[in-house]
Structure 1
């Protein structure tokens, strides 16, 4: 949800909005995080022994503090947790000062210490399964990153070492102690993704239908949306505008709001375009419900 909302914000919210640059930076960070996790997922696909993987486990502990764990891998003999960092540059881990430093182009930056982040997660997972070996590692997903210094007592490595790390742990902890599926279900019962939403008004959104190929404004011509720049045409290009509206403003829209959003001059054309969506009446107004899975709707 957060990724899709940020994408919609960058696409629809005006660049003069006071928080636009913040949202754009957040989108870059979220995409980098997903790319890093994809890199780890690539190697995990090679696991042949019985296991279950939970990606992005998110839950509240008994003190109502949130835990977000990038990967939890459940085996019959142990549980492993990975904290993934997708950062470039030369990396220094200083556990004594609780610092994670990245140097790039002669600029040094401090980031939250992933070792402490992961230790916090390991403590709470251990409290759920006190008799099960539970270990973790910080995984650097960026292939160009250089790990210059790290603690001797905590595993930090590149993503291509993930399988070797798992194999070493499975050799050390070989005795079956748990039911993989039972532990998976117990953890998934805890899973409650953080609900963070950004709300805007229609007036704060850019108007028009944007070409998915070149982002130029499209024109509605003979029942289709046509891009005057690259000549791409799409009968259902307005679905993206409705999707963005649903994420940023409301799950329902009026004919007038739709005309404003898509820069349509005819309410009759708007009504034809909205005919695929459920309509209901409230307070003397007609509203069209925008489905969450709008892109799965196909009409020929």
Structure 2
């Protein structure tokens, strides 16, 4: 069963909100667009691998996008599969072209035909994840659980090469479609060794309960002054950011259309890009409305949580 689904990443939502609220002539917009495309490509690669790992859901417990904390620091795992005898960490790589795993220099090299790039070794990353997960399990009184790590290459067209010890990598690196077969092989081996069965559903629920959502401040990462972010309510039709508040909705002058709830996306953009709470005054400024009563009605209509002491509105968890 899948007890933690892969949802659309909040980081992608932030990039989409940011890109529509930066001036077209903004000097860093090409960097922001490139970062967005990279994140989106990675997400699509994860979905490709999910199609393969979901074949194991009937007899096993699967969690996607797991983020746990140990000693105040977070570590992430793309996919965790808990079976009858072991836990499997799947680290997903979504690259085109040719991938060369260099075991001498502990590096991954990608050649897409026009450019060669070096990356941190996924093997090192997988080993670190396994060590951290083992520590985390021990702290939650879950001991002696075998942990295996795989590097899943999402695209069948990606060529995999090894410089150095091929035997070191042959059971770790593979195209995604081979993951179920490899896990079933490991399970048979654990069974033949007489390993004790795991309460995989119970373990999965403990991990799901403690797992948090990966998030980051992309505005700070790109060193963007929040004053550069365009305010206003955007027209869902023509994307004009200057909708005017009229009775019962919002009017777009360029396309002559009226929208009832166009403010909802604007408030969501504020939470994504500015801060996770909003005051009545900040709402008026961001939506370009003058009446505090209008702003209050708008915020109330979104079913937000109101902190009377702080006089701020928050998104529900």
TM range, smaller chain? 0.7 to 0.9
Q: Partner of 2:182 in structure 1? A: 165
Unaligned runs of 5+ in 1: 294-300
Counterpart position of 1:238: 263
Residue 95 of structure 1 deviates from its aligned partner by 1.7
The answer for unaligned runs of 5 or more in structure 2 is 1-9
Q: Determine if contact 1:73/1:81 at 8 Å carries over to the other structure.
A: yes
Q: Closer, same or farther in 2 for the Cα pair 1:186/1:226, shift >3 Å?
A: same
**Contact 1:60/1:67 (CA < 8 Å) preserved in 2?**
yes
Secondary structure at the aligned position of 1:50 is classed as coil
* Offset at residue 237 of structure 1 (A): 0.7
Please report how far the alpha carbon of residue 138 of structure 1 lies from its aligned counterpart in structure 2 after TM superposition: 0.5
When normalised by structure 2's length, the TM-score is 0.75
SS of residue paired to 2:241? coil
Of 18-27 and 51-60, more deviation after overlay is shown by: 18-27
> What is the CA–CA distance in structure 2 between the aligned matches of 1:48 and 1:279, rounded to whole Å?
40
How do 1:95-106 residues align onto structure 2 when only pairs under 5 Å count? 95-106=103-114
2:198 pairs with 170, 178, 186, which one? Answer: 178
Contact 2:280-2:296 within 8 A present in 1 as well: no
Please tell me whether residue 260 in structure 1 is matched to residue 260 in structure 2: no
- How many residue pairs align between the two structures? 288
Distance 1:176 1:188, change over 3 A: same
Aligned alpha-carbon RMSD (Å): 3.4
TM-score, scaled relative to structure 1 = 0.78
Offset at 1:85?
A: 1.0
Deviation at 1:229, TM superposition (A): 5.8
Q: Tell me how far 1:278 sits from its aligned partner.
A: 6.7
What are the superposed Cα offsets for residues 196-246 of structure 1, whole Å, 9 maximum, x if unpaired?
Answer: 445787633202222335433353355333455666653101111111112
In structure 2, the residue matched to 1:212 is: 236
Residue correspondence of structure 1 range 1-300 to structure 2 within 5 A: 1-14=10-23, 20-47=29-56, 49-62=58-71, 64-127=72-135, 128=138, 131-149=144-162, 151-154=166-169, 155-174=172-191, 175-188=195-208, 191-193=211-213, 196-197=216-217, 198=219, 203-217=227-241, 219-220=243-244, 223-227=248-252, 233-250=258-275, 251-255=277-281, 257-264=282-289, 270=295, 272-274=297-299, 276=301, 289-292=313-316
